[in-house]
């Protein structure tokens, strides 16, 4: 599954947008819409991700369309890059496959007052120090450990709970989506096994596509927005990509097990067992939501502690306190999450559950949920690419509210499976190839770098071009990597 080509219909439907009409499969409640340009469309047809877009259109209570972003690729249940909004008033469901295994996997961007020339002479030492301090790799634990009681407090309050422990500042919280805390988290719904897995993993990077990168702002496209974010050309930044680690994975696993017979119980017919779901207002739906929110808050704490350790590494190598280096958080966005939001659907204001799986919230200027310091420019949208090319910062545009429930893409999107990438890397030194491109890379294993080699991904510049052209988010700055640590 996943690898056959998609042979169904993809009709042009506006600027950089393609439709899978709901007539494609009996049972689709809405059309599927995929954002892409001609160049990306060929790659998108290469697996069954568009089929997953059609399957999501079967979900009860789904509104407007089953959507997918240009970084779309095959995932569990939903494609990665999938977006769906369901209305609980119309029997709308919540589906763990629409959030993903890594609950609130996301990205944060930290700026500094350092120029590339300040850091270049120290980059190898800096990468070594980051790698030494920050645990990477599957199942790795770190120096912060919490007992069950502390874990539950941390999951109820998010990173605000870390302020009293001297591991976060109020400024960090203000620059985090939802202030790092989803209301309604129910830590008691998180299983003992999940707690066990999460006990020493807060402040660890994990494996797969997670990374911590030292980057340089390469190009500015919107001076006013860049100024509001205190970004300037030549500036050194740190980008952190990680999620809820073993705890979130276990919460998803537990939920999928608990939901196995639930669709039948409520008379819900699905084309794919992986789309297991429950009505939002059912006891089963509420249970998953309580645990999912708790895991999301854990993920925000994880990225907060990763940032804290990165600040300490910079202090150690450069001999200057991070406050003096102005290593301040620009913003932190969630990429795998379901949130209850107000949107206009067919001319009516509704409260809907927006599932974003491998997709970034992209609220426009003036939106009440955009923090005050960014309300004039729109919410920062942070889009990491691969470790050899570039990453991007954009700002949300009003087009996102009209077309995609306030959403843009979340990354470059894979073109090679991990297995294919490893096969392609045989006999190569990916670390050496990256060094030739000016990137110092450290990873726990050769395989980790092989799976994540630049060739495994679409070109992020093309993906970003699509959301920019479609009016979902507007380009602000492009960053290129100079140092990276991986699992």
Catalytic residues, by residue number, are 410
Which tokens belong to 327?
A: 């290593």
Characterise 343 by phi-psi region: left (phi > 0), alpha (psi -120 to 50), beta (else).
Answer: beta
Report d(CA 352, CA 56) in Å as an integer: 16
Alpha helix (H) residue ranges in 349-459: 398-403, 418-424, 430-436, 446-451
Do residues 398 and 344 touch, judged by C-beta distance below 8 A? no
Could you tell me which of 162, 181, 416 has the C-alpha nearest to residue 308? 162
423 phi and psi angles, rounded to 5 deg: -60, -45
Report d(CA 441, CA 464) in Å as an integer: 24
Report d(CA 107, CA 215) in Å as an integer: 14
What stretch of H or E contains 283? Answer: helix 283-318
Alpha helix (H) residue ranges in 67-167: 116-119, 123-133, 148-157
Alpha helix (H) residue ranges in 158-282: 170-174, 192-198, 223-228, 245-258, 262-265
Which tokens belong to 274?
A: 């992986």
DSSP class per residue in 188-217: GGS-HHHHHHHTT-TT---STT-EEEEEEE
Do residues 477 and 393 touch, judged by C-beta distance below 8 A? yes
Give the pairing of strands 65-73 and 31-35: parallel
Which tokens belong to 364?
A: 């426009």
Could you tell me which of 309, 287, 288, 337 has the C-alpha nearest to residue 180? 337
Q: Let me know if 372 is exposed, middle or buried by CB neighbors in 10 A (0-12, 13-18, 19+).
A: exposed
Alpha helix (H) residue ranges in 383-474: 398-403, 418-424, 430-436, 446-451, 460-469
Which tokens belong to 466?
A: 């699509």
Packing angle, helices 283-318 and 245-258, rounded to 10:
170
């Amino acid at each position: 599954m996943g690898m056959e080509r998609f042979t169904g219909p993809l009709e042009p439907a506006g600027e950089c947008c393609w439709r899978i009409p709901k007539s494609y499969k009996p049972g689709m409640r809405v059309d599927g819409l995929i954002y892409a340009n001609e160049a990306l469309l060929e790659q998108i047809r290469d697996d069954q991700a568009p089929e997953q877009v059609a399957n999501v259109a079967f979900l009860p209570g789904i509104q407007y369309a089953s959507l997918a972003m240009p970084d779309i690729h095959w995932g569990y249940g939903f494609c990665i890059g999938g977006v769906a909004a369901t209305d609980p008033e119309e029997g709308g469901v919540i589906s763990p496959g629409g959030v993903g295994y890594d609950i609130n996997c996301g990205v944060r961007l930290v700026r500094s007052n350092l120029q590339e020339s300040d850091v270049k002479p120290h980059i190898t030492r800096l990468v070594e120090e980051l790698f030494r301090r920050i645990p990477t790799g599957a199942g790795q634990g770190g120096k912060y450990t919490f007992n069950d009681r502390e874990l539950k407090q941390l999951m109820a309050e998010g990173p605000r709970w870390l302020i009293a422990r001297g591991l976060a500042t109020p400024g960090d919280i203000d620059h985090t989506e939802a202030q790092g805390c989803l209301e309604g988290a129910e830590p008691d719904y998180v299983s003992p096994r999940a707690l066990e897995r999460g006990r020493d993993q807060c402040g660890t990077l994990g494996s797969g596509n997670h990374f911590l990168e030292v980057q340089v702002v390469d190009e500015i496209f919107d001076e006013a927005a860049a100024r509001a974010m205190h970004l300037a050309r030549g500036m050194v930044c740190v980008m952190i990509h990680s999620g809820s680690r073993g705890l979130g994975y276990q919460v998803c696993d537990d939920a999928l097990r608990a939901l196995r017979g639930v669709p039948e119980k409520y008379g819900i017919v699905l084309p794919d067992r992986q789309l297991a779901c429950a009505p939002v207002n059912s006891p089963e739906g509420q249970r998953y939501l309580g645990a999912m929110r708790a895991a999301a808050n854990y993920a925000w704490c994880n990225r907060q502690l990763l940032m804290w350790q990165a600040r300490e590494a910079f202090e150690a190598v450069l001999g200057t306190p991070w406050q003096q280096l102005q290593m301040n958080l620009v913003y932190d966005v969630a990429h795998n999450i379901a949130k209850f939001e107000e949107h206009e659907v067919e001319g009516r204001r509704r409260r809907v559950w927006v599932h974003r799986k491998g997709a970034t919230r992209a609220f426009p200027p003036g939106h009440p949920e955009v923090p005050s310091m960014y309300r004039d420019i729109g919410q920062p949208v942070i889009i990491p690419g691969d470790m050899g090319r570039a990453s991007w910062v954009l700002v949300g545009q009003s087009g996102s509210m009209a077309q995609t429930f306030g959403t843009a893409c979340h990354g470059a999107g894979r073109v090679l499976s991990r297995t294919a990438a490893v096969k392609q890397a045989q006999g190569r030194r990916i670390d050496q190839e990256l060094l030739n491109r000016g990137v110092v890379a450290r990873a726990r294993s050769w395989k980790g770098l092989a799976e994540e080699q630049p060739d495994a991904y679409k070109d992020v510049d093309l993906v970003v071009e699509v959301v920019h052209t479609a009016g979902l988010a507007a380009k602000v700055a492009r960053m290129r990597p100079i140092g990276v640590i991986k699992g």
